[in-house]
Chains A and B, each alone.
Chain A
Amino acid sequence: MPPHPWLQRQRYLVDFTVGALGRRKGRNLALVAVYALIVFVLASVLLFSQALRHEAATLLSGAPEVTVQRLVAGRHDLIPGTYLERLGKVRGVTDARGRLWGYYYDPVVAANYTLLVSPDDPPPAGKIRVGSTLATTRGLGVGDVLSLRGHDGQPYAFTVDATLSPDSALLTADLILVNEQDFRAFFGIPTGLYTDLILTVPNPREVTKVAEKVLRALPDTRPIVREEILRTYAALFDWREGMVMVLLSGAVLAFIIFAWDKASGLSAEERREIGVLKAIGWETSDVMAMKLWEGLLISVFAFLLGYLAAYVHVFGLAAALFGPVLKGWSVLYPDFQLSPHVEAFQVFTLFFLTVFPYALATVVPVWRAAIADPDAVMRL
């Protein structure tokens, strides 16, 4: 069965357009390359931020519903365990526990460690469990001794009981798990004081209400709800994404000017070509369809090439080009591989913003040239 006449017509138009593009091969290939590079950069930032935001939201969805800190003179201070009793009585709270954690600056590697008391299954006295990044940085293995200087200036020797899985590095890179007695002795924190308190609130709709009640009952505290934690990370990656975009905006603007100039201004050669086509009997609509195909071919190819390269860059090569800016850095930096996460809406937005303006910009000047008298166009 022969193809539909409309399809046949489009096929001839594409043939002609590709031929016309081939006559200015170098210029058009350079245009597609620069265009694809811009899409690549934008898509890389977009894909990486999406994946990082998604990872943070997934991992931290198990964070405590409400964390209660005590503020003294506007700064975080140790909180008395006596608060637990009052907090446990707040309606909606099913469990209230004290949490012990703190930082230790290790001058040997110039990095901060996070010491945390493991709430269940704590290591035996004198033993610790360490995060994989920390273990690698300090060259620690099971059975090795890590000596840290305590609050009283005395060295405390801890034996490594186990190292935490490298798969959890995003959460545990700098973590040292200790038991409560060792933690209190090391930091000199008396019994009955905690770093902060955590509340379990099974009903998500009650969390905000519980936080309000906590603030009313204990005005010297600062309740932090899980939603705020998730928002903090969403805002953080938004901010970094925005900052990279600002840095790239110069290049993007330069490209927009270049592409607009290329797409909306016709060269004398292109005008003559349109004149010839009109003179040999092409309709205005044919000329415009041909130019629309030209714009679409260039912009869609550039988008697809740029997006695919960005996907490989972000998820295959761990975003080697922008990773440090988007992820942040530190001496103890977790080595992690992001699992791909693509939001169709954002990709569509990128497609719409990069492809359509160019394709449309090619049509307007052609329409102006195509409605003119062929003789006049050719004489220009």
Chain B
Amino acid sequence: MADRGDLDRAGLGLGLKALSRGERVLLAGIALFLLFLGTFIHAGIAADRAEHATAANRALASRLTLTDLALFTEARYTRNLSQADLHAAFQDHPGALEHFPTGALVGPPHRDPHAAASLAPETTLSR
């Protein structure tokens, strides 16, 4: 096994072996901290890079007069959340519990592509 002298002579030790254990831990901490600061710089650069696409999307939303994100397309009252009458207790018919709040907890339905197509609207949550 190469001793410290060998490593230093070979330039492989990078001088780290000359440091005490505490100093090496501190150096590792500083490296992690620099990476931590790097996340802020990376976020800034990535946001700048995405600015073109973001501006295009913002213009598209404005041109098409879009009011909502296409995140929850499973039901008409969740697709355009800001336009839906969420103040109504039951969305589909009296007694029909609206299922939006549970949408985050229930997994997507396992759909069989060969199964007969259902004609009932808004039944995508049923398993």
Contact = CB atoms under 8 A, between A and B. Distances in A.
Given A331-B73, A341-B47, A308 B122 contact: no
A119 B64 contact: yes
A240 interface: yes
A171 B65 CA distance: 11
Nearest to B58: A62
Given A103-B76, A198-B65, A329-B103, A301 B32 contact: yes
Contact of A170 (B20, B69, B121): B69
B68 A229 contact: yes
A111 B124 contact: yes
Contact of B73 (A228, A232, A332): A332
Contact of B22 (A16, A63, A233, A305): A16
A102 to B, nearest CB: 9
Interface string B60-90: 1111111111111111100111111100100
A171 B70 contact: yes
Contacts of A344: 40
A168 interface: yes
B65 A56 contact: no
A304 interface: yes
A175 B70 contact: yes
Interface in B6-46: 20-23, 25-26, 28-29, 32-33, 35-36, 39-40, 42-43, 46
A232 B39 CA distance: 29
Interface string B107-119: 1110100000111
Contacts of A179: none
A228 B82 contact: yes
A94 interface: no
A139 to B, nearest CB: 12
Nearest to B67: A63
Nearest to A114: B79
A329 B105 CA distance: 10
Given A171-B69, A304-B29, A342-B39, A329 B108 contact: yes
Contacts of B39: 307-308, 311, 340, 342
Contacts of B68: 60, 229
Contacts of A370: none
Interface in A171-209: 171-175, 177, 196, 198
Contacts of B22: 11-12, 14-19
A224 interface: yes
A170 B71 contact: yes
A59 B57 contact: yes
B21 to A, nearest CB: 5
A64 B65 contact: yes
Interface stretch (A68-76, A140-148, A272-280): A68-76
A286 B122 CA distance: 68
B57 A168 contact: yes
A97 B54 CA distance: 26
Nearest to B75: A112
B21 A331 contact: no
B73 A330 contact: yes
B83 A332 contact: no
A63 B35 contact: no
Contacts of A334: 69-71
B43 A172 contact: no
Contact of A56 (B25, B69, B76, B111): B69
A340 B45 CA distance: 9
A108 B123 CA distance: 13
B83 A15 contact: no
Contacts of A297: 25, 29
Contact of B58 (A58, A67, A177, A339): A58
A300 interface: yes
B55 to A, nearest CB: 9
Given A112-B74, A174-B70, A233-B69, 17 more contacts: A12-B22, A61-B58, A62-B58, A63-B62, A67-B83, A99-B65, A112-B79, A116-B66, A118-B64, A172-B66, A236-B81, A243-B105, A300-B29, A304-B35, A339-B54, A341-B47, A342-B39
Interface of A: 11-12, 14-19, 22, 56, 58-64, 67, 69, 71, 74-76, 97, 99, 103, 105, 107-108, 110-112, 114, 116, 118-120, 131, 133, 165, 167-175, 177, 196, 198, 222, 224, 228-229, 232-233, 236, 240, 243, 297, 300-301, 304-305, 307-308, 311, 315, 324-334, 339-342, 344
The 10 closest A-B pairs by CB, nearest first: A62-B62, A15-B22, A14-B22, A340-B43, A105-B121, A339-B50, A173-B70, A107-B117, A229-B82, A304-B32
